[in-house]
Structure 1
Amino acid sequence: MEQRDTVDDIVEQWARTRPDLNPEAMGLIGRLRRLNARVDAALREYFTTCGLDSSEFDVLATLRRSGEPYELNARALLKAAMVTSGAITNRVDKLSAKGLVERNPCPDDRRAVLIRLTPAGKELIDGALAGHVRNEERLLAALDGGERAQLDGLLRKLLIAHGDTEALLD
């Protein structure tokens, strides 16, 4: 017999109490939401061991993957993080206070600011990345390579269907 999860019980309850509804979508969305909560908790736990929160890790990782000189203008950072400008300002303020990023005037536009990883920020994110990848591998360990590829393709298809197609890089 196939192992059951909590969502199986929820779907069965709906099927019993509202047989006029098809609870299949509820089951899928419920599993996505429950898994997202568990993944977020595991990521937060790891980031804490690095002295960061999830949002700080996100900014540092975004700057690091941008390539040398590991800097982006605020607009590009905002686009990559998918949060409000106020949220980015708060994140950058926190990271700046920790000495992990610095703000520099943009040479091409005096109104713009460039956010750059400091050497300490680069060292911290480089040190945190290997453990982060190991943590993600642990979270996906129940799936083999083919299952991972299939899930990746299906999630990509859903994201595209819901408009997540804007390129991060200009």
Structure 2
Amino acid sequence: MNVEAIIKTATLPPRRRTMIHLMLVNNRIGEAMAQTLKPFGLSMQQFNVLRILRGQKGQPANMRTLNERMVSKMSNTTRLVDKLIAKGLVRRNVCPENRRKVEIFLTDTGKEQLEDMSAAVDAQEHALMENFSDDDLRRLNELLDLIK
């Protein structure tokens, strides 16, 4: 990816070029994942909620757990869960004694559809990263960990 060609500018200082490069890569990945999930009618944030619930291994998650584990902290988790409920992919149980205690579960339909979505996302991840070896990816992650 030639950053300068994309933004039509002269050579950039390394720090600025890197920041712009990371933003461009983020956009490219976001667009690719959005296209991958489009046939399923889900956003990446909704998919993230489903994966978090799958990671609960049958145990419920509360809204706080979902918020803490979301990749995108800008998400309105309540709205995401409401949309997933409407699609029949998750269900919400509200404790009758304490209405603030809300438990979110993955439905059987949600589990089944998540299998298909996960396969499509895995294929897209592979396509996006096919030019990297495992060692390249480990090193890239080490470098990205250095960002404050």
Report the TM-score range of the alignment, normalised by the length of the smaller protein.
Answer: 0.7 to 0.9
CA distance in 1, matches of 2:39, 2:55: 21
Equivalent residue, structure 2, for 1:100: 89
The alignment's TM-score, normalised by the length of structure 2, stands at 0.86
Equivalent residue, structure 1, for 2:114: 125
Q: Aligned-pair distance for 1:91? A: 0.5
Q: 1:14-163 residue pairs with structure 2 within 5 A?
A: 23-69=13-59, 71-81=60-70, 82-83=72-73, 87-106=76-95, 110-158=99-147, 162=148
CA distance in 2, matches of 1:139, 1:76: 29
CA distance in 2, matches of 1:136, 1:108: 44
Count residues with an aligned counterpart.
147
What SS does the corresponding residue of 1:55 show, helix, strand or coil?
A: helix
Between 1 and 2, higher relative CO (CA 8 Å, sep ≥ 6) is seen in 2
After superposition, give the CA deviation of every residue in 1:76-125 in whole Å (9 maximum; x if it has no partner).
1111125368x111101111111111111359955210011111111111
User: What residue identity is the alignment partner of 1:143?
Assistant: F
What SS does the corresponding residue of 1:13 show, helix, strand or coil?
A: coil
Q: Who wins on radius of gyration, i.e. which is larger?
A: 1
Task: Summarize the Cα distance change of 1:79–1:9 in structure 2 as closer, same or farther, 3 Å threshold.
Answer: closer
Asked if structure 2 preserves the Cα contact closer than 8 Å seen for 1:43 and 1:135, the reply is yes
Q: Which consecutive unaligned segments of at least 5 residues does structure 1 have?
A: 16-22, 163-170
After superposition, give the CA deviation of every residue in 1:44-78 in whole Å (9 maximum; x if it has no partner).
00011222111211111111122223x20111111
The alignment's TM-score, normalised by the length of structure 1, stands at 0.76
What SS does the corresponding residue of 2:91 show, helix, strand or coil?
A: strand
Percent identity of equivalent pairs: 31
Q: Which consecutive unaligned segments of at least 5 residues does structure 2 have?
A: none
CA distance in 2, matches of 1:156, 1:72: 28
What SS does the corresponding residue of 1:135 show, helix, strand or coil?
A: helix
What SS does the corresponding residue of 2:23 show, helix, strand or coil?
A: helix
User: What residue identity is the alignment partner of 2:10?
Assistant: Q
Q: Aligned-pair distance for 1:140? A: 0.7
